[in-house]
Amino acid sequence: MSYDYILSCCTYTDFSAQKMKELDIRYICTPYMMDGKTYYDDLGETTSYADFYKAMENGAITSTSQLNQDEFAEYFRELLKEGKDIIHVSLSSGLSGVSNSARLAIETMKQEFPDRKIYLVDSLAAAAGLGLLMETASDLRAQGMGIEELYNWLEDNKLRLHHWFFTTDLTYFVRGGRVSKASGFIGGVLNICPLMNVSNQGKLIPRAKIRGKKKVFAEIVERMKKHADNGTQYSGKCFMCNSACEDDAKEVAAMIEAQFPNLDGKVQIFTIGTTIGSHTGPGTVAVFFWGDERVD
């Protein structure tokens, strides 16, 4: 089906290239570095996620850089040449400056294409949370929602999208400065699995220090009970993602499916992509769902 406007994002969604095609979402690939060499996250097309995480487990050093204004301008220019308007949904500004790069490029595009509309949504989301937001936007567009209405819907509802996650390996959180070396050492010795979420400012916030995987599994389900629309009667979609710990993700998914009988389909599990995975490393599991508005 052909639409009169384009949905766009960067490759932070944890979706496959095939799924993005099915949803008719356009995307720009984001850069990451491994052992000093630059690669682009093309949704697993060039480097499989299994190979990526295996390299990290074997000691590869990873980092990321953000797309700049000129790269976004080139990307948007090619889309606008198709004669369609655009909604571009960015990674949370609380996690990266990439949203600002997109904003600056859009200002340039408005001068080059004064008859075209181009909207920027700071998702305040990441990973499969951004994926759930994009899939919902695609569904609403398919139902006939126009560009202005969809833009307003995204702005009005993006804080209802919850992100809860934990890690069983603090190595990369310490390396990236998100956890102190002392806390990382103590956490490793005591088998601490930090429970975190994304705040209403789109920032990564530690919420609890939980000892042992089984306890953190139970606690993340409790957070979903507390915050999901209609509690355990939640009837929306639930997405999950993981970084090389699919068995843990499947165990949490089974717990969610058992306690939320009205879910819209099974819990969908994705692999964390290479750019975000460069910061989490192996051992992270995240849960995403629609609920009450994030207020802190």
pLDDT band at 185 (very low <50, low <70, confident <90, very high): very low
Query: Which residues touch 152 (CB under 8 Å, ≥6 apart)?
Result: none
Question: How many Cβ atoms sit within 10 Å of the Cβ of residue 152?
Answer: 13
DSSP-assigned letters across all residues of 248-287: HHHHHHHHHHHH-TT-SSSPEEEE--HHHHHHH-SSEEEE
Helices then strands (H, E): number in the chain?
A: 11, 13
Of 182, 13, 6, nearest to 87 by C-alpha is 6
Note whether 49 and 274 are within 8 A (CB): yes
Q: And the tokens for 143?
A: 């139902």
| pLDDT > 90: percent of the chain | 87
Tell me the average pLDDT across 98-125. 97
Radius of gyration of the chain from its Cα atoms, rounded to whole angstroms:
19
CA distance 3 to 23: 11
Q: How far apart are CA 189 and CA 280, in angstroms?
A: 19
Q: Which helix (H) or strand (E) holds 30?
A: strand 30-34
Average pLDDT, integer, range 127-150:
98
Measured distance CA(150)–CA(239) in Å, rounded: 21
Each residue's pLDDT tens digit, 65-84: 999 999 999 999 999 999 99
122 Cβ partners below 8 Å, 6+ apart? Answer: 90, 92, 93, 99, 202
- What are 85-107's pLDDT values in tens digits? 999 999 999 999 999 999 999 99
What's the rounded Cα separation, in Å, for the pair 80 and 122? 20
Tell me how far apart the alpha carbons of residues 98 and 91 are, in angstroms, rounded to a whole number: 7
pLDDT classification of 286: cutoffs 50, 70, 90? very high
Confidence tier at 181 by pLDDT (50, 70, 90):
low
**pLDDT reported for residue 79:** 98
* pLDDT, the chain, mean: 93
Q: In what order do the strands lie in the sheet with 118-122?
A: 25-28, 5-10, 85-90, 118-122
pLDDT given for residue 169 in this prediction: 75
pLDDT band at 184 (very low <50, low <70, confident <90, very high): very low
| Total Cβ atoms within 10 A of residue 61 | 12
Question: What pLDDT does 179 receive?
Answer: 54
In this model, does residue 162 exceed pLDDT 90?
yes
CB contact at 8 A, 106 and 137: no
In this structure, what token pair is assigned to residue 17? 């290239």
Which pLDDT score is estimated for 174? 60
Q: How confident is the model at residue 168 (pLDDT cuts 50, 70, 90)?
A: confident
What is the widest separation between alpha-carbon atoms in the chain? 60
Query: What pLDDT is attached to residue 187?
Result: 45
The token duo for 246 is 């699919």
